[in-house]
């Protein structure tokens, strides 16, 4: 804390608040590790370098930095580590980033910490890696060091996490378009705490069910009503924050499943009672959480018959933002088989990008694309096309979009045109469809296309919803298949609805 006095003013106190982010959504069914290269390709930024990339982002870290100006504290940026969802985080990265946060706090001795976690991070040796980060912090800094945490709405959290921070607040939207505001809210809580205005305490409740990812969209019933109840709760005296996290089902860990977190001003009983109450209501709504979608052959037929364009085909089983492979070919195969035209499919295909670069623009290529990361997402497909463009794969998104990224890195990228104007976007990084910038930076006008395939569940909607003529959600196989019964869980709590019912 720095005390200073301006001429004619009373003594002012300016707090110093550390800012750090360590975020990963880990799909434990994936064999693709989140290793150091995966973080370095996206965000592994230390100190002031993180400020340059994240200050203007619609992300909680951008919100933390904005709050420094609004609330009048000195930010102490430590690290921002973020990798595309995939299999678990390797131990070396986990140890490096966690040690970096602790060393940064030790050396800068701030008054408190704003920490952006995801809540569904698994490391090789730590099934609840987010809680492990906090446990390590507490072991060094003691139980009283002020820490406020932000969480993704897909966090799978346990008491171990909630007991080790003063307050945890989650996003309120899916697609996540309120991330920056979430950061500002967290910062406001920490500042009020440091000023002695509030004494946050919190409670967690976890009903034993899976909220199907297709039922998690916050503008639709039933999630919408739960979020509205949480907002109403926050109007009650003594309630500081109410978060509803539907959770992330593609993780075989004991804490998998929804979480209700209520933060109150020193009233543990109120927090516990309201958390249990909302958890009960979620449990009562469990029968509204079933999903039935068409498989790829029927979905593509429907798409070809639709005259409300563009048609967005949602490849739910290969949801890159849920840690899937990103090179699934099930829908691409159907499109080619059924004679589609004027479509766009994006695939993770690093070696094919190199082939395209070697062959050169406007030259013909014969490639075997997709189905290479694992055996879960369809077979590789042989295609012939013409290389239209090779691009560095970096683009800027200025609007609030799921994930909150402003600077996006899909790695070196090739655009290949096949017969009938069907386009393949081949990327060197697994890249989720959160921004139309992925297409527009290559000169593609998505509104002019007949069919757009997105490898996602709900998150794509912030970008694609406004331009979609028709949306068809497709039950494709893969590491993010919509039916949880397709997965063999060993470590989750049992019984768990709907698997055991």
Minimum distance from CB of 176 to Zn ion (Å)? Answer: 6
> CA angle at residue 328 from 257 to 421, to 5 degrees?
135
Minimum distance from CB of 54 to Zn ion (Å)? Answer: 17
24 binds Zn ion (CB under 5 A): no
Rounded to whole angstroms, how far apart are CA atoms 113 and 105?
8
Minimum distance from CB of 150 to Zn ion (Å)? Answer: 12
> CA of 300: how far to CAs of 314, 325, 448, in Å?
11, 21, 18
Quickly tell me which residue has 């595309």 as its tokens.
84
Minimum distance from CB of 152 to Zn ion (Å)? Answer: 4
Q: In this structure, are strands 74-82 and 16-23 parallel, antiparallel, or unpaired?
A: parallel
Rounded to whole angstroms, how far apart are CA atoms 149 and 119?
10
Nearer to Zn ion, 152 or 473 (CB): 152
In contact, 21 and 79? CB cutoff 8 Å: yes
Q: In this structure, are strands 451-454 and 239-245 parallel, antiparallel, or unpaired?
A: unpaired
Q: How far is CA 51 from the centre of its chain?
A: 20
Structure tokens at 193: 């705490």
> CA of 401: how far to CAs of 171, 331, 405, 447, in Å?
13, 25, 7, 18
Minimum distance from CB of 65 to Zn ion (Å)? Answer: 21
Rounded to whole angstroms, how far apart are CA atoms 469 and 315?
17
Nearer to Zn ion, 15 or 58 (CB): 58
Minimum distance from CB of 153 to Zn ion (Å)? Answer: 5
User: Hey, which residues between 122 and 181 contact Zn ion (CB under 5 A)?
Assistant: 152, 154
Nearer to Zn ion, 73 or 250 (CB): 250
Nearer to Zn ion, 152 or 397 (CB): 152
Structure tokens at 105: 């706090």
Nearer to Zn ion, 371 or 400 (CB): 400
In contact, 73 and 114? CB cutoff 8 Å: no
Minimum distance from CB of 478 to Zn ion (Å)? Answer: 18
**How many Cα atoms within 13 Å fall on the side-chain side of residue 293?**
25
Site string for Zn ion, 286-325 (x = CB under 5 A): ----------------------------------------
Nearer to Zn ion, 154 or 172 (CB): 154
Structure tokens at 248: 């992330």
Is residue 71 classed exposed, middle or buried when 0-12, 13-18 and 19+ CB atoms within 10 A define those classes? Answer: middle
Minimum distance from CB of 279 to Zn ion (Å)? Answer: 20
Nearer to Zn ion, 76 or 253 (CB): 253
Minimum distance from CB of 181 to Zn ion (Å)? Answer: 15
> How large is the greatest C-alpha to C-alpha distance in the chain, in angstroms?
78
Q: Find the residue with minimal CB distance to Zn ion.
A: 154
Rounded to whole angstroms, how far apart are CA atoms 450 and 470?
10
In contact, 208 and 496? CB cutoff 8 Å: yes
Nearer to Zn ion, 118 or 136 (CB): 118
Nearer to Zn ion, 146 or 155 (CB): 155
Please choose, from the candidates 295, 208, 203, 296, the residue with its C-alpha nearest in 3D space to the C-alpha of residue 249: 208
Total residues at interface with Zn ion (CB under 5 A): 2
Residues engaged in binding Zn ion (CB under 5 A): 152, 154
């Amino acid at each position: 804390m720095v005390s200073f006095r301006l001429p004619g003013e009373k003594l002012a106190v300016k707090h110093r608040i550390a800012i750090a982010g360590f975020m990963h959504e880990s799909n434990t069914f994936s064999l693709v590790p989140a290793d150091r290269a995966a973080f370095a390709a996206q965000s592994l930024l230390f100190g002031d370098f993180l400020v340059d990339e994240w200050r203007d982002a619609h992300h909680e870290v951008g919100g933390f930095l904005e709050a420094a100006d609004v609330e009048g504290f000195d930010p102490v940026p430590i690290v921002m580590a973020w990798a595309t969802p995939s299999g678990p985080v390797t131990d070396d990265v986990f140890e490096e980033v966690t040690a970096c946060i602790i060393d940064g706090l030790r050396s800068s001795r701030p008054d408190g910490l704003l920490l952006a976690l995801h809540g569904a991070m698994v490391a090789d040796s730590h099934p609840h890696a987010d809680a492990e980060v906090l446990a390590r912090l507490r072991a060094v800094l003691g139980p009283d060091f002020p820490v406020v945490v932000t969480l993704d709405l897909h966090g799978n959290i346990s008491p171990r996490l909630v007991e080790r921070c003063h307050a945890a607040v989650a996003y309120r939207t899916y697609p996540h378009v309120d991330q920056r505001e979430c950061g500002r809210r967290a910062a406001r809580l920490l500042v009020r705490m440091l000023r002695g205005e509030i004494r946050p305490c919190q409670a967690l409740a976890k009903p034993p069910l899976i909220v199907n990812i297709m039922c998690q969209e916050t503008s639709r019933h039933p999630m919408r009503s739960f979020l509205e109840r949480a907002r109403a709760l926050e109007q009650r005296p003594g309630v500081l924050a109410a978060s509803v996290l539907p959770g992330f089902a593609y993780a075989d860990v004991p804490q998998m499943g929804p979480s209700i977190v209520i933060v109150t001003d020193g009233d543990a009983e109120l927090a516990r009672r309201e958390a249990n109450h909302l958890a009960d209501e979620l449990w009562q709504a469990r029968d509204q959480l079933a999903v039935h979608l068409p498989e790829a052959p029927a979905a593509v037929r429907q798409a070809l018959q639709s005259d409300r364009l563009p048609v967005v085909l949602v490849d739910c089983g290969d949801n890159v933002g849920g840690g899937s492979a990103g090179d699934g070919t099930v829908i691409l195969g159907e499109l080619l088989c059924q004679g589609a035209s004027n479509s766009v499919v994006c695939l993770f295909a690093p070696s094919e990008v190199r082939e395209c670069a070697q062959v050169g623009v406007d030259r013909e290529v014969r490639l075997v694309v997709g189905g290479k990361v694992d055996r879960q997402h369809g077979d590789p497909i042989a295609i012939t096309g013409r290389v239209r463009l090779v691009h560095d794969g970096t683009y800027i998104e200025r609007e609030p979009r799921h994930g909150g990224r402003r600077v996006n890195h899909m790695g070196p990228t090739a655009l290949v045109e096949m017969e009938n104007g069907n386009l393949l976007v081949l990327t060197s990084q697994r890249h989720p469809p959160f921004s139309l910038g992925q297409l527009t930076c290559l000169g593609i006008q998505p509104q002019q296309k007949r069919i757009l395939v997105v490898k996602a569940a709900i998150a794509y909607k912030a970008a694609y919803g406004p331009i979609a003529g028709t949306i068809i959600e497709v039950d494709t196989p893969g590491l993010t298949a919509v039916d949880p019964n397709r997965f063999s869980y060993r470590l989750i709590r049992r019984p768990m609805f709907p698997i055991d019912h």
